[in-house]
């Protein structure tokens, strides 16, 4: 990316704190799937993440940051750049007392990509010293309607990243999840559902959807419950991708908009029915919304003809 007209401070920050594109290499990371046909696609996603993070370091004006992200990264990949933005702003907030860059960005220039930015912020929880201990206090400083995404991002960083490590290979992914404790598997399969529909395995490669659904076994609706989260991020961000449309159509027999609306409905139900404390509301929001979404899917898919992959 061009760095013309940047201040000396921005240049120094970029030199010291920026990520190298070499970090996106499966070989450099030691991933076991260096020969996967999905590798180029997944590395492109990592490049977009790095570009988003690095551009946030270099561009202090948030409106200009958004413009440059849109101009330099194709729509289907720009969401991953916003994850990088979220990582950077959350790191600043956790390092600098009183900083509120993440909250300000997701309510202004980055509002259309608030969910995916918050997911990226969860990566900071995983990377910062004492990040997990500080997550609840940090969430209290954020919008309750998106703060739950931090936990989702943290979980993705520590577990769902298997999608990349194993090159979107369904058998390897299922085997990896099986090695975790049983109580963690539902959320991991939900995370795979998000990755499957938001990131995909790459154009021209065999579609792993049906195989993943088969291997998910008793967690099939957990897998399917991740798709609406991906659809909502795509719909709100107005950055469509053919693989998200395909996942919604083939696995849920729904459009991206219909799938996105499941999340909005589940979120509204949670807000309308919650009677606990504000702290518990933040802590339990994600699980409650996902469980409600899961139940909505069970009802919808059970009532439809057995014609989609989800019904088989």
Q: Around Cβ 218, how many Cβ atoms within 10 Å?
A: 10
Task: Give the model's pLDDT for residue 211.
Answer: 92
Q: Please tell me the predicted confidence (pLDDT) of residue 303.
A: 80
- Nearest CA-CA partner of 176 in 161, 197, 155: 161
Exposed/middle/buried for residue 22 (C-beta within 10 Å: 0-12, 13-18, 19+): exposed
Note the pLDDT of residue 262.
96
Residue 11: its pLDDT value, please? 47
Q: Give the residues of the chain that fall short of pLDDT 70.
A: 1-18, 21-35, 158-162, 164-167, 202-203, 304-312
Rounded Cα gap, residues 68 and 188, in angstroms: 33
Domain locations in the chain as residue ranges? 11-303
Which one, of 12, 18, 42, lies nearest residue 29 by Cα?
A: 42
What whole-number distance in Å separates Cα of residue 156 and Cα of residue 51?
19
pLDDT tens readout for residues 97-144: 889 999 999 999 999 999 999 999 999 998 888 888 899 899 989 988
Compute how many other C-beta atoms are within 10 angstroms of the C-beta atom of residue 30: 9
């Amino acid at each position: 990316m061009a760095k013309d007209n940047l201040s000396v401070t921005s240049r120094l920050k970029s030199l010291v704190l920026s990520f190298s594109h070499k970090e996106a290499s499966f070989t450099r990371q030691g991933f076991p799937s260096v020969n996967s046909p999905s590798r180029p696609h997944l590395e492109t996603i990592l490049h977009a993440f790095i570009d988003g993070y690095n551009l946030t370091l270099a561009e202090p004006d948030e409106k200009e940051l958004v413009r440059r992200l849109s101009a330099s990264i194709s729509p289907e990949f720009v969401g991953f750049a916003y994850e990088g933005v979220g990582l950077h702003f959350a790191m600043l907030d956790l390092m600098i007392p009183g900083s509120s860059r993440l909250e300000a960005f997701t309510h202004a220039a980055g509002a259309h990509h608030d969910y995916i930015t918050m997911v990226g912020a969860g990566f900071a929880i995983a990377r910062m010293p004492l990040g997990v201990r500080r997550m609840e206090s940090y969430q209290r400083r954020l919008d309750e309607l998106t703060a739950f995404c931090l936990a989702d991002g943290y979980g993705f960083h520590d577990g769902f990243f298997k999608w990349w490590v194993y090159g979107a290979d369904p058998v390897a992914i299922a085997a990896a999840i099986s090695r975790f404790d049983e109580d963690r598997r539902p959320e991991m399969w939900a995370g795979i559902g998000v990755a499957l529909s938001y990131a995909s395995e790459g154009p021209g490669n065999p579609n792993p959807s049906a195989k993943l659904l088969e291997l998910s076994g008793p967690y099939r609706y957990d897998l399917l419950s991740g798709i609406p989260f991906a659809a909502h991020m795509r719909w709100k961000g107005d950055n469509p991708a053919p693989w998200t449309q395909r996942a919604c159509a083939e696995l849920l027999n729904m459009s991206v908009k219909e799938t996105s609306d499941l999340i909005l409905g589940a979120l509204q139900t949670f807000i309308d029915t919650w009677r606990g404390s504000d702290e518990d509301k933040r802590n339990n929001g994600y699980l409650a919304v996902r469980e409600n979404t899961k139940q909505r899917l069970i009802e919808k898919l059970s009532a439809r003809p057995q014609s989609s992959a989800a019904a088989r």
